[in-house]
Amino acid sequence: MHLGLERGKTELLSHDNERGSAAEKAIRILWKVIPEARDIQHVGSTAIESIDAKPIVDIAVSLDDVQSVTSHIDELAEYGIFYRGIDVPEQILFIIGEGNIRTHHIHIVKWHGKAWDNYMIFRDYLNSHPDKAAEYEKLKKQLAASFPDNRRAYTEGKAGFIEKIIAEAREHF
């Protein structure tokens, strides 16, 4: 299993079930350190069973009060989980990795807030609709080829498709 990618780089690798095992290991630690979490889930492309993905595991941790996670910063750091601050509005980011290599992105979000719901519905919809997952993978490959050293452009290039899929999924769930 290859896990980890240099910050800012974009590279897609074939689906690897070992990334799910890496997610489960991190989730066990997160439950130990953040017992007040409402739920902790493996999300993102490595949680979609049939597609290539960046070798970075995304995990969403839902809390009633997102800011309460800051009381765990020191203990999380003891496990190699490092605070990075507000990632996007209403989310706090932690990472696992060494130096400039990131292996995990841990997104702290509001329980049943928009971000939590979007993470769940996107993952579940693509796992239950392989044709849509293949469409997403094709877009990701095009963007990765165009922006191998610009993860921001890669991410922005996916945004419209992700929004479309979430809207479509809400009609079906």
CATH number at residue 62: 3.30.460.10
Residue 17: the pLDDT is 83
CA distance to 46, 96, 109, 170, per residue, from 50 (Å):
9, 24, 26, 21
pTM of the predicted protein model: 0.94
Where in the sequence is the domain holding 91, given as residue range(s)?
5-172
Residue 160: the pLDDT is 97
Residue 87: the pLDDT is 76
Q: What angle do CA 33, 8, 121 make, to 5 degrees?
A: 55
Residue 75: the pLDDT is 98
In the DSSP assignment, the letter for residue 72 is: G
Q: What is the mean pLDDT of each run of 10 residues along the chain (173 residues)?
A: 88 89 97 98 95 96 97 98 89 94 97 96 97 97 95 95 96 80
Residue 1: the pLDDT is 63
Report how many domains make up the chain: 1
* Six-digit token string for 28: 């066990």
Residue 111: the pLDDT is 97
One-letter-per-residue 3-state SS of 8-70: CCCCCECCCHHHHHHHHHHHHHHHHHCCCCCEEEEECHHHCCCCCECCCEEEEEEECCHHHHH
